Amino acid sequence: MTVAVIDYNAGNTRSVYYALQRLGIDALFTDDAEKIRHADKVIFPGVGEASSTMRYLKKIGLDQVIPSLTQPVLGVCLGMQLMCRWSEENDTPCLDIFDVDVVRFRPQHQEKVPHMGWNRIYDLDERMFDSAIEGEYTYFVHSYYVPLTSFTTAKCDYIQPFSAAISRDNFYATQFHPEKSGLVGASIIQSFLDL
């Protein structure tokens, strides 16, 4: 099985690559459209800022490639947010794979933003998750979030319930970092690889 990890101008894409290595997968770390199209699975990672990342994706043409992929695609963190319609982060039009907008956390009782650390995911959809990990903790770092929508496949509570994961057709995405979420995270990546 070939797994392509989209290598673009975003911090920390390497840890996804290493997480796959721990699962015995020697992934292709690439921004080459042909290689990405031909992979069995594609992972779209990301930590960073939405508008500059979108600019970079446009520059290298991946803004057209990613929405047209037909194999299973997993977006992570910023990757998930960029797969949505629009992000409040610097008023950025995104890839519009998911018809939902990304908005900023607004603290109600002096909660800290970014939402950083381990939090529980629940109401897991079996299309994406093994039910055995219902209620387990995963690692989040983000200031913007995807509200609950018909695409939601996992929820998390911070300030209010929001989408910890979403999916539609061949597209899957998590707001948390499975590559940094211990054994639970590894099992989530494995479930994606097993699709």
Partner 1 sequence: MLAKRIIPCLDVKDGRTVKGINFEQLRDAGDPVELGKLYSDQGADELVFLDITATKEKRKTLATLADRVAHHLNIPFTIGGGIGSIADVDVLLNHGADKVSVNSSAVRNPELIDELAKEFGSQCIVVAIDAREVDQEWIVHVAGGTIPTDKEMFDWALEAQERGAGEILFTSMNHDGTKNGFALGPLKKMCAILSIPVIASGGAGSIDHFYEVFDYAKADAGLAASIFHFQEIGIPELKENLKSRGINVR
Cα–Cα distance for residue pair 84/170, rounded to 1 Å = 14
Catalytic site residue 77? Answer: yes
Interacting positions 133-152 with partner 1 (CB under 8 A): 137, 139, 141-143
| Shortest separation between residue 65's beta carbon and partner 1, angstroms | 24
Establish if 29 lies at the interface with partner 1 (CB under 8 A).
no
Establish if 14 lies at the interface with partner 1 (CB under 8 A).
yes
Establish if 12 lies at the interface with partner 1 (CB under 8 A).
yes
Cα–Cα distance for residue pair 90/51, rounded to 1 Å = 6
Establish if 186 lies at the interface with partner 1 (CB under 8 A).
yes
Interacting positions 65-104 with partner 1 (CB under 8 A): none
Beta-strand runs (E) in the chain: 3-6, 28-30, 41-44, 73-76, 84-87, 92-93, 98-104, 115-120, 137-142, 144-145, 152-158, 160-168, 171-174
| Shortest separation between residue 70's beta carbon and partner 1, angstroms | 30
When the beta carbons of 86 and 137 are compared against partner 1, the nearer one is: 137
Cα–Cα distance for residue pair 29/36, rounded to 1 Å = 9
Cα–Cα distance for residue pair 76/103, rounded to 1 Å = 16
61, exposed or middle or buried, with CB in 10 Å at 0-12, 13-18, 19+?
A: exposed
- Considering only 45, 48, 75, 79, the residue that binds partner 1 (CB under 8 A) is 48
Enumerate binding residues for partner 1 (CB under 8 A): 11-12, 14-15, 18-19, 21-22, 47-49, 107, 110, 112-120, 137, 139, 141-143, 157-158, 177, 179-183, 185-186
Catalytic residues: 77, 177, 179
